[in-house]
C-alpha cells in the first residue's frame, strides 16, 4: 500500500518534471503568442472570416494571393505589389479580360506545385457551383470583395486569363483577397471522406472541414496545431519562396480573446506577448508595465452612414453638413486615449485618392446650428433621428461610449438622437437589407465601420446607384448622376496614376455630398512585449510577421 | 421530506420547502406575530433599512442627484472617488458616478423585483389551479412546468434573451419565464397540502362552491409561503439581470443600470479599480439585503404556534 | 419500487420531448437571418435559396423539427454554420471541459458549504449560526462573474501567479491533472464554487438541525453517547440528502456556468453557448441547449432514483 502511494507520487512528480521540461523546450523555441480580438479562430481553409483581422492572422500568414500589399513602409499608404503573379495587364482588345503571368517554382506546404491550374481551382472554389471544391461557407468573405470577378481560364502552366463582368481597373487590388489553397492537398482530404457520406455537397463540406484542421498554402507559415475555438499554432516555412521574407520566429500562437479587459489581463499576466486593440483605458497601465504600444493610421472609417431616401431628414444635404460640423473629434480622440485619427473624409489628407473637397469637415457648432435653422429646425423643434448601432464588433472600436459622445455633441445642434442598439451580426445583416427595409426601423443612419483598402470597398459600394441593397452596401440609397459618371471614369482608367487621379476627383465630390458622418479612423493599436523586435507597423490592416524576431 | 430534485436550482431552497407544511394554514394573529418577531430581528431591520434607502434613492433620484447622469465630459473622465464635484468619481465618459448609481438603481431594482412580481402572479395562478384541480389537470400542468424546470435558470434566461435579442422587455420576459415554473411548483405543493387540510375538507363537506373555497381558504393560506419563497428570488433575479446586461443581452445604453455599468467600466479596472467596482458593490449590497430579509422572514414564519 | 422507477422514467420521457420542442422553438424565435455568418453581403436571391436548402431552413417548421429530432436520436445534431464542424463534437468537447471545471468547483463548494452548514446546524440560532448563515448568504449574493474579474486582477495581473484565461498551456485538447494544467483551473473553479457553497450550507444546516432535534438523538445523548458519537450519527443521516444536493449542483453548474466561462475563456458549454448566441449559429445553439437540458433531466432522474434506493423511507408524491 505504502509502496503504491510512493510510486504514484513518483509518477506525479515525474509528470510535473516532464511538463516543466517541455515548457523549457517551448521557451527555447522563438514563439510569439498573440491575443486576437476575434471571438473565434478565423477560418483557416483559405478565405478567412472575422473580417480583415482574419486575413491578418490566417490569410497572409498561411497563404499568398496573386497580388499583395507592400507592408514595409510605416509612413505611406500601403501599395499593391506582385505576389504569386509576376505581372498582369488588361487585354487591349477586350478590357474585361486580364492576363496574369505566374511566379515559377512556388510550392505549396504539401509539396505540390503552384501553377495555373491551382489559380483556376481557387477561383472555382468560390464561383463555379458545380465544382467539387465549391464551398458556400467561403464565398461570403470573398465575392463581396471582388464583385466583378467572373471566371478564370488556364492559358499555359504559368499564364491565366481572368474575366470580369465589366471593365474594372480595381480587379488586381481586389484579388489580394483571394488566397491560393493547395488543390492537391484538398483532393487528398476529399478522397479520405468516409464512403458513408454520399451526398456531393456533404462530401465537399467534410473535405473542407478536414482541410481547415490541416491546411496547406504557399505562405511563410505552415500548419502546426489547431484546437477549435481555443488556439491556432503555425510554424515557420523554411522553404518560403521569397527568401527575404522567411520568418525569423519559429512559431506563432493565436488565441481568440474577444473581451478587451480579458486581453489586457492575458498580456499583463504574461500569458501572451502581443494583444490587438488594448482598451484605451488600460493603455496607461500597459505602458507602465513596460509593454510597447504600436499604432498607425489604418484604411478604416468609423462613420454614420446616412439614409437619404425621400422622407429621411438626411435627404437634406444641409443636415448632413450640420452633423459633420457638430462632432468634436478632438475630444473624442481624448476619450479613446488618443487611439483614433480624426476623420475628414473616407481617406485622409496626403492619400493619393484624397483630392480637394470644397466642404471642410471640422468642428464648428455655430455653423452647424446656422444650417439647421436654415433647414427649419431649432432647440424646441429638433430633428428626431434614430441610429442603429452595435454594442461591439470587428472594427467597431468602442461603439457605445463613442456613440453616446456623438449623441451628446449633436444635441447642441438640434438633433435628438435615439439608438437602436443591437448585436453586431444583426446590425450587419440589417446593413445589407438597406434603409428602406422594415429591419431599419425608420433609422436615419447606421453605424457600421468599414475597410477602405481598395477603391471598391472605400467608395464604389456606398455611392454607386448600382449598389443599392441588396446588391451592395449603399444602405442609404445615395444616388448622384455626377458621382456615377466619375466612378465609371475611375473604373476604366487602367493606368495606375490616371486611376488615382480619377479617384481623387471622385473622393472630393463624395466628401462634398457627405453621405457619411465622418468621425474616426482606427489606428490599429496593439501592445507588444518589448522582447519582440523588428516590428514594422504599416498603414494597413495587416502586418508582416516575417520581419519580427524574439530576444 | 420531499424529493430533493426540487432544489436542483441553486436557489430552490432545501431549507425552505420541507417547512411549508409548518407554515400553511395560518390565522391573522399569526401574521401580527410574524411582524413582531421581524421587528425584533436586528438583521432583518438592517436589511430592510438598506433596501428602503436604496429604493428611496432610486425613486427620488431625479431630485436627489447631484449632477446630470447623462452629461459627458471628456476632460473629467475616470476621476477617483472623492474628487470635488464627483463624490464617487466619474465613469468612462466623465459622467457623475453617484448620480448614475442612484438612477441606475431604478432599473436594477426594477429588474430584480418586476420579474418576480410577474412570476408571482402567473406562477401562483398556475400552481394554485394545478394544486386545487388535482388529477389529470394537475398532471398536465406540472409536466409542462417540468419542461421549463429542466433548464438551469441561468441557461434558460440567457438562451431566451439570446433568442429574443437585447432589451429591457426581452430581459423581463426571459426572467419571468425562469421564475414562473419555480413559483408554480411551490404554489402547487402548498395548495395541494391546503386542499387536503381540515378547513377545506370541511368547507367542501358543507357544500361551498369551488370559487369560494379557493378564495376564502386556499388563497388566504397559501400566499404567505409563496410570498416568502418569492422574496428569496428577488436577489437571484437581480444577479441574473445584471449578468444579462453584462453579456450585452439586457438593458441598452445610455440608460444607467448596475450590471451594464460594471460591464462598461471593465477596462477602467486597471486605472480606477474602486470606481469600476462600485456598481458591483451595490449589486452585492442589494442582493444580500434581500437574501437576509427573506431568511429572517422565513425564520419568523417557521416558529411553531 | 419497480413501479415507482417506471413511473419516474415515464415522467421523464415526455419532459425530454418537451425540452427538445422548447429548444427548437426558442432558437426559431430569434430574429435575423440564420445564415448571416456565411452569406455574402451581396448574395443573390438564388444563392440564398440554395444555401437555405443546403442547411434545410427552407422547409416548414414542423418538418424541420421532426427531421431534427429524428437525426438527434441517431446522435447527429447537424453541423455548426460558422465553423462547419459537427455540433455533437463541439458540444461533447465542451461538456468534457465544463465537467472538469464543475467537478472541482462542486468539491470546493461542498466542502466549505458543509463546514458552514454543520456549524450553523450544531449551534442553531446562536451567534455562530447567524455568522455562518451570513457568510453563506454572501456566497449566493455575489455576482460571480464580478468575483472572477476581481480574482483575475489580483492573482493574474498583480501577483502573476495564475493564468487569467484558457484551459491549459496548449489548449484543452490534452487535459491532464498536473501543475501546469491545474493552474488554469484554480481561478474559475474557485469562482464557480460560490454557486453551490450557499445552497449546500443551507441544506446541511437544515438537515443537521432537524436530526439533532429528533427525539432519538436526545435519547442517545441521555444514554451517555459522546459528542463524537452524535456527530457520526448526524453525518450518517444527512449524507444521502447532502450528496444528492451535491450531485444536482454539479448538474446545475454544467449548464449554469456561462458567465464564469465567458470571463475566463474556459472552453466549456457556457463559452460555446455564448459564441453560438453571438454568431447566431442556430444548429449549435439548439444542440448546446438540448444536450444541457437533457443532461439536467437525466441527472434529476438519477438522483431521485439513487436517493430512493439509499433511503426507501422518503415519501413519494
CB contacts of B270 in chain A (<8 Å) are 261, 264, 268, 281-282, 284-286
Tell me if B181 is assigned to some domain: yes
Kindly report the CATH number assigned to the domain that includes residue B90: 1.10.3720.10
CA distance B4 to chain C (A): 7
Name the nearest CA neighbour of C290 among C22, C86, C79: C22
Confirm whether B2 is domain-assigned. no
Contact (CB<8Å) A419/B252: yes
Residue B214 in any domain: the answer is yes
Residues of chain A positioned with their CB less than 8 A from the CB of B252: 391, 419, 421
Q: Which domain holds residue B65?
A: 37-301
Q: How far apart are CA B229 and CA B192, in angstroms?
A: 17
Q: Which of B123-127, B284-288, C56-60, C79-83 has the lowest mean pLDDT?
A: C56-60
Angle among Cα A54, A59, A60 to the nearest 5 degrees reads 125
- Cell 446616412 found at: A306
Q: How close is the nearest chain C Cα to the Cα of A268, in Å?
A: 5
Kindly list the partner chains of chain B, i.e. chains with 3 or more CB atom pairs below 8 Å: A, C
- CA gap A471, C78 in Å, rounded: 31
Site from A277, A404, A426 to mutate, B interface, most B CB atoms within 10 angstroms: A404
**DSSP letter at C86?**
B
Listed residue (B235, B137, B224, B142) closest to B180, CA to CA: B142
**Would you state the cell numbers that stand for residue A341, as one nine-digit string?**
485619427
Contact C259 B154 (CB under 8 A): yes
CA distance A505 to chain C (A): 27
Check residue A327 and give its pLDDT.
Answer: 96
Residues of B in contact with C153 (CB under 8 A): 269-270, 273
Assess contact for A125 and A131: CB atoms under 8 A: yes
Interchain proximity A49–C37, CB inside 8 Å: yes
In this complex, how many residue pairs, one in chain A and one in chain C, have their CB atoms less than 8 Å apart?
146
Domains of chain C in start order, with CATH, are: 2-73 (no CATH), 94-316 (1.10.3720.10)
Check residue B14 and give its pLDDT. 37
Q: Say which of B163, B242, B270 has its CB closest to residue C143.
A: B242
Query: What are the tens digits of pLDDT across the range B218-256?
Result: 777 777 778 878 888 888 888 888 888 888 787 776 778
> CB distance A422–B165 less than 8 Å?
yes
Q: What is the mean pLDDT of residues C213-218?
A: 74
For residue C171, list its beta bridge partners.
C169
Interface with B, mutate which of C28, C259, C261 (most B CBs under 10 A)? C259
Tell me, yes or no, if A40 comes closer than 8 A to chain C by beta carbon.
Answer: yes
Q: How far is CA A475 from CA A435, B101, B256, C245, in A?
A: 6, 38, 31, 55
Would the CB atoms of C30 and B4 count as touching at under 8 Å? no
Top mean-pLDDT range of A204-208, C12-16, C174-178? A204-208
Mean pLDDT, all residues of chain C? 80
Of B74, B166, B264, nearest to A334 by CB-CB distance is B74
Strand stretches in A307-447, DSSP E: 341-342, 383-390, 415-422, 445-446
* Cα separations in angstroms, C297 against A498, B147, B148, B168, C16: 70, 9, 11, 30, 7
Residue B72 with chain A: CB contacts under 8 Å: 404-405, 408
Chain B residues with CB inside 8 Å of C294's CB?
Answer: 150
Give the pLDDT confidence score for residue A245 in this predicted structure. 93
Report the gap between the CA of C114 and the closest CA in chain A (Å).
Answer: 28
Report strand pairing: A300-306 vs A516-521.
Answer: antiparallel
Is the residue at B204 inside a domain?
yes
**Chain C closest-CA separation from residue B27 CA (Å):** 25
Q: Touching check for A242 and chain B: CB below 8 Å?
A: no
| Joined grid coordinates for residue A88 | 498582369
Residues of A in contact with B77 (CB under 8 A): 335
In a domain? residue B92: yes
CA angle C33, A397, B261 (to 5 degrees): 90
**DSSP string spanning A174-220?**
HGGG-B---HHHHHHHHHTS-TT---HHHHHHHHHHHHHHS---SSS
Peptide bond into B254 cis (omega under 30): yes
Nearest alpha-carbon partner for B171 in B120, B246, B117, B245: B245
Bridge partners of A533, per DSSP, are: A549
In a domain, B74, yes or no: yes
Alpha helix stretches (DSSP H) within chain B: 20-23, 28-39, 42-59, 61-64, 97-133, 135-149, 153-164, 168-195, 198-205, 210-213, 220-247, 258-264, 273-302
State the pLDDT confidence band at C30, using cuts at 50, 70 and 90: low
Q: Do A265 and C153 touch (CB under 8 A)?
A: yes
Residue of A nearest to C176 (CA): A15
What's the total number of domains in chain B? 1
Cell of A187: 483532393
The pLDDT of residue B216 is above 90: no
Cα nearest neighbour of A51 on chain C:
C37
CB B254 within 8 A of CB B245: no
The pLDDT score that the predictor gives to residue C316 is 44
Cell 438527434 found at:
C72
B64 CA to chain C: closest CA distance, Å?
27
Residues 87-146 of B with CB under 8 A from C: 143-144, 146
Selected residues 377-396 of chain A with any CB under 8 Å from a CB in chain B: 391-392
Q: Which of residues 178 through 207 in chain A touch C, CB cutoff 8 A?
A: 201, 205
| Closest among A218, A234, A94 to A166, alpha carbons compared | A94
Specify if B155 maps to a domain: yes
Chains that touch A (3 or more CB pairs under 8 A): B, C
Greatest Cα pair distance, chain B, in angstroms, is 77
Instruction: Write the CB contacts of A368 (distance below 8 Å, at least 6 apart in sequence).
Output: A321, A322, A323, A325, A326, A413
Per DSSP, the residues of A516-529 read EEEEEE----EEE-
C-contacting residues of B 140-179, CB under 8 Å? 143-144, 146-148, 150-155, 158-160, 162-165
CB-CB neighbors (< 8 A) of A404 in chain B: 72, 93, 253-254
Residues of chain A with pLDDT under 50: 1-6, 9-10, 13, 15-22, 24
Residues C183, C203: Cα–Cα separation, whole Å: 31
C-alpha cell recorded at residue C69 = 429530432
Among the partner-chain residues B93, B254, B271, the one whose CB lies closest to the CB of A284 is: B271
pLDDT tens, residue by residue, B27-78: 556 677 777 888 888 888 888 899 999 999 888 888 888 888 877 666 677 7
Q: What is residue A375's predicted lDDT score, i.e. its pLDDT?
A: 95
The answer for residues whose C-beta is within 8 angstroms of residue C131's C-beta and 6 or more apart is: none
CB contact under 8 A, A423 and B166: yes
* Residue with more model confidence, C226 or A108: A108
Pairwise CB contact (< 8 Å): C30 & B284 = no
Residue of chain A with shortest Cα separation from C90: A228
Per the domain annotation, does B24 fall within a domain? Answer: no
Rounded to whole angstroms, the Cα distance separating B33 from B45 reads 16
Predicted confidence (pLDDT) at residue C232 exceeds the cutoff of 70: yes
Q: What is the pLDDT of residue C317?
A: 40
ipTM: 0.80
Task: Check: CB of residue B253 under 8 Å from CB of residue A400.
Answer: yes
The cell for A94 is 477586350
Of the two residues C249 and A505, the one the predictor is more confident about is A505
When pLDDT is cut at 50, 70 and 90, the band that residue C254 belongs to is confident
A209, A230, A431: residue with CB nearest C166? A230
Chain C partners within 8 Å of B159 (Cβ): 26, 273, 277, 285, 289
Q: Determine contact: B266 vs chain C, CB below 8 A.
A: yes
| Residues A416-437: b if buried by 16+ CB within 10 A, e if exposed | ebebbbbbbbbbbbbbbbbbbb
pLDDT for A186: 96
Distance between CA atoms of residues C78 and C27, nearest Å: 14
- CA–CA gap between residue A106 and residue A218 (Å, rounded): 7
A264/B contact by beta carbon, under 8 A: yes
Amino acid at each position: 500500500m505504502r509502496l503504491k502511494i510512493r510510486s504514484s507520487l513518483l509518477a506525479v512528480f515525474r509528470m510535473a518534471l516532464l511538463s516543466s521540461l517541455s515548457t523549457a523546450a517551448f521557451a527555447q523555441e522563438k514563439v510569439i503568442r498573440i491575443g486576437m480580438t476575434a471571438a473565434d479562430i478565423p477560418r483557416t481553409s483559405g478565405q478567412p472570416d472575422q473580417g480583415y483581422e482574419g486575413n491578418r492572422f490566417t490569410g497572409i500568414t498561411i497563404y499568398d494571393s496573386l497580388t499583395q500589399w507592400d507592408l514595409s513602409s510605416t509612413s505611406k499608404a500601403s501599395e499593391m505589389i506582385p505576389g504569386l503573379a509576376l505581372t498582369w495587364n488588361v487585354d487591349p482588345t477586350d478590357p474585361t479580360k486580364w492576363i496574369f503571368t505566374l511566379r515559377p517554382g512556388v510550392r505549396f506546404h504539401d509539396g505540390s506545385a503552384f501553377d495555373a491550374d491551382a489559380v483556376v481551382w481557387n477561383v472555382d472554389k468560390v464561383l463555379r457551383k458545380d465544382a467539387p471544391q465549391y464551398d458556400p461557407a467561403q464565398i461570403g468573405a470573398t465575392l463581396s470583395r471582388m464583385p466583378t470577378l467572373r471566371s478564370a481560364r488556364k492559358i499555359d502552366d504559368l499564364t491565366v486569363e481572368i474575366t470580369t463582368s465589366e471593365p474594372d481597373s480595381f480587379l488586381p487590388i481586389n484579388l489580394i483577397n483571394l488566397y491560393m489553397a493547395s488543390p492537391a492537398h484538398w483532393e487528398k482530404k476529399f478522397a479520405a471522406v468516409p464512403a458513408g457520406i454520399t451526398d456531393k455537397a456533404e462530401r465537399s463540406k467534410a473535405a473542407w472541414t478536414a482541410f481547415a484542421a490541416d491546411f496547406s498554402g504557399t505562405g511563410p507559415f505552415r500548419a502546426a496545431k489547431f484546437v477549435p475555438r481555443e488556439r491556432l499554432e503555425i510554424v515557420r516555412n523554411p522553404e518560403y519562396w521569397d527568401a527575404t521574407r522567411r520568418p525569423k520566429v519559429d512559431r506563432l500562437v493565436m488565441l481568440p480573446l474577444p473581451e478587451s479587459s480579458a486581453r489586457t489581463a492575458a498580456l499583463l499576466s504574461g500569458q501572451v506577448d502581443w494583444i490587438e486593440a488594448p482598451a484605451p483605458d488600460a493603455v496607461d497601465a500597459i505602458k507602465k508595465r513596460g509593454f510597447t504600444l504600436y499604432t498607425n493610421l489604418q484604411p478604416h472609417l468609423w462613420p454614420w452612414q446616412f439614409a437619404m431616401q425621400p422622407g429621411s431628414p438626411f435627404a437634406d444635404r444641409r443636415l448632413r453638413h450640420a452633423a459633420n460640423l457638430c462632432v468634436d473629434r478632438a475630444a473624442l480622440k481624448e476619450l479613446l486615449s488618443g487611439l483614433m485619427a480624426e476623420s475628414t473624409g473616407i481617406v485622409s489628407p496626403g492619400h493619393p485618392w484624397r483630392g480637394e473637397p470644397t466642404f471642410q469637415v471640422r468642428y464648428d457648432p455655430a455653423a452647424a446650428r446656422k444650417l439647421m435653422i436654415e433647414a427649419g429646425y431649432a432647440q424646441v423643434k429638433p430633428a428626431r433621428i434614430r441610429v442603429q448601432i452595435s454594442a461591439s464588433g470587428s472594427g467597431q472600436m468602442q461603439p457605445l461610449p463613442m456613440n453616446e459622445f456623438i449623441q451628446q455633441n449633436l444635441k447642441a445642434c438640434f438633433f435628438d438622437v435615439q439608438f437602436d442598439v443591437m448585436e453586431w451580426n444583426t446590425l450587419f445583416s440589417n446593413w445589407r437589407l438597406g434603409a428602406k427595409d422594415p429591419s431599419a426601423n425608420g433609422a436615419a443612419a447606421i453605424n457600421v465601420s468599414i475597410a477602405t483598402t481598395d477603391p471598391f470597398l472605400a467608395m464604389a459600394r456606398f455611392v454607386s446607384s448600382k449598389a443599392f441593397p441588396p446588391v451592395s452596401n449603399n444602405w442609404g440609397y445615395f444616388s448622384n448622376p455626377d458621382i456615377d459618371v466619375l466612378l465609371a471614369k475611375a473604373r476604366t482608367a487602367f493606368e495606375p496614376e490616371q486611376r488615382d487621379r480619377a479617384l481623387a476627383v471622385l473622393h472630393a465630390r463624395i466628401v462634398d455630398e457627405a453621405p457619411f458622418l465622418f468621425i474616426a479612423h482606427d489606428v490599429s493599436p496593439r501592445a507588444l512585449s518589448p522582447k519582440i523586435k523588428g516590428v514594422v507597423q504599416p498603414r494597413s490592416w495587416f502586418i508582416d510577421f516575417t520581419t519580427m524576431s524574439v530576444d | 421530506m420531499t424529493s430533493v430534485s426540487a432544489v436542483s436550482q441553486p436557489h430552490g431552497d432545501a431549507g425552505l420547502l420541507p417547512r411549508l407544511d409548518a407554515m400553511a394554514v395560518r390565522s391573522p394573529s399569526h401574521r401580527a406575530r410574524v411582524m413582531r418577531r421581524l421587528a425584533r430581528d436586528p438583521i432583518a431591520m438592517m436589511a430592510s433599512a438598506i433596501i428602503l434607502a436604496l429604493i428611496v434613492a432610486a425613486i427620488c433620484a431625479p431630485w436627489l442627484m447631484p449632477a446630470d447622469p447623462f452629461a459627458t465630459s471628456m476632460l473629467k473622465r475616470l476621476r477617483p472617488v472623492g474628487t470635488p464635484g464627483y463624490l464617487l468619481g466619474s465613469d468612462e465618459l466623465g459622467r457623475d458616478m453617484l448620480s448614475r448609481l442612484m438612477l441606475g438603481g431604478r432599473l436594477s431594482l426594477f429588474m430584480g423585483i418586476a420579474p418576480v412580481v410577474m412570476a408571482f402572479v402567473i406562477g401562483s395562478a398556475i400552481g394554485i389551479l394545478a394544486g386545487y384541480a388535482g388529477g389529470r389537470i394537475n398532471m398536465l400542468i406540472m409536466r409542462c412546468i417540468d419542461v421549463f424546470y429542466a433548464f438551469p435558470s441561468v441557461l434558460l434566461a440567457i438562451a431566451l434573451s439570446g433568442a429574443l435579442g437585447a432589451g429591457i422587455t426581452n430581459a423581463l420576459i426571459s426572467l419571468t419565464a425562469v421564475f414562473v415554473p419555480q413559483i408554480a411548483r411551490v404554489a402547487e405543493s402548498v395548495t395541494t397540502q391546503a386542499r387536503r387540510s381540515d378547513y377545506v375538507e370541511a368547507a367542501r363537506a358543507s357544500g361551498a362552491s369551488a370559487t369560494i373555497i379557493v378564495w376564502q381558504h386556499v388563497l388566504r393560506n397559501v400566499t404567505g409561503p409563496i410570498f416568502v419563497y418569492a422574496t428569496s428570488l428577488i436577489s437571484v433575479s437581480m444577479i441574473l439581470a445584471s449578468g444579462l446586461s453584462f453579456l450585452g443581452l439586457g438593458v441598452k445604453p445610455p440608460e444607467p443600470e448596475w450590471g451594464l455599468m460594471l460591464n462598461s467600466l471593465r477596462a477602467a479596472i486597471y486605472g480606477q479599480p474602486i470606481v469600476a467596482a462600485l456598481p458591483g458593490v451595490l449589486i452585492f449590497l442589494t442582493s444580500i439585503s434581500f437574501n437576509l430579509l427573506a431568511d429572517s422572514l422565513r425564520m419568523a414564519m417557521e416558529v411553531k404556534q | 419500487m419497480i413501479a415507482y422507477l417506471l413511473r419516474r422514467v415515464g415522467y421523464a420521457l415526455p419532459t425530454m420531448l418537451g425540452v427538445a420542442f422548447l429548444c427548437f422553438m426558442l432558437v426559431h424565435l430569434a430574429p435575423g437571418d440564420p445564415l448571416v455568418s456565411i452569406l455574402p453581403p451581396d448574395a443573390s436571391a438564388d444563392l440564398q435559396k440554395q444555401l437555405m436548402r443546403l442547411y434545410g431552413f427552407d422547409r416548414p417548421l414542423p418538418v424541420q423539427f421532426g427531421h431534427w429530432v429524428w437525426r438527434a436520436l441517431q446522435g447527429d445534431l447537424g453541423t455548426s454554420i460558422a465553423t462547419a464542424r459537427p455540433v455533437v463534437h463541439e458540444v461533447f468537447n465542451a461538456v468534457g471541459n465544463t465537467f472538469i471545471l464543475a467537478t472541482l468547483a462542486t468539491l470546493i463548494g461542498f466542502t466549505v458549504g458543509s463546514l458552514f452548514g454543520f456549524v450553523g446546524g450544531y449551534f442553531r440560532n446562536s451567534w455562530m449560526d447567524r455568522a455562518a448563515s451570513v457568510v453563506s448568504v454572501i456566497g449566493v449574493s455575489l455576482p460571480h462573474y464580478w468575483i472572477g474579474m476581481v480574482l483575475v486582477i489580483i492573482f493574474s495581473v498583480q501577483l502573476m501567479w495564475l493564468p487569467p484565461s484558457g484551459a491549459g498551456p496548449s489548449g484543452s485538447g490534452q487535459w491532464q491533472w498536473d501543475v501546469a494544467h491545474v493552474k488554469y483551473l484554480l481561478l474559475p473553479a474557485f469562482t464557480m464554487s460560490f454557486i453551490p457553497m450557499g445552497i449546500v450550507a443551507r441544506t446541511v444546516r437544515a438537515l443537521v438541525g432537524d436530526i439533532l432535534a429528533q427525539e432519538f438523538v436526545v435519547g442517545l445523548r441521555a444514554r451517555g453517547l459522546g459528542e463524537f458519537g452524535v456527530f457520526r450519527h448526524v453525518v450518517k443521516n444527512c449524507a444521502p440528502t447532502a450528496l444528492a444536493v451535491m450531485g444536482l449542483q454539479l448538474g446545475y453548474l454544467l449548464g449554469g456556468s456561462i458567465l464564469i466561462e465567458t470571463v475566463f475563456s474556459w472552453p466549456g458549454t457556457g463559452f460555446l453557448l455564448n459564441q453560438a448566441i453571438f454568431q447566431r449559429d442556430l444548429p449549435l445553439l439548439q444542440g448546446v441547449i438540448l444536450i444541457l437540458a437533457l443532461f439536467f433531466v437525466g441527472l434529476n432522474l438519477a438522483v431521485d432514483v439513487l436517493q430512493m434506493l439509499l433511503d426507501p423511507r422518503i415519501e413519494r408524491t
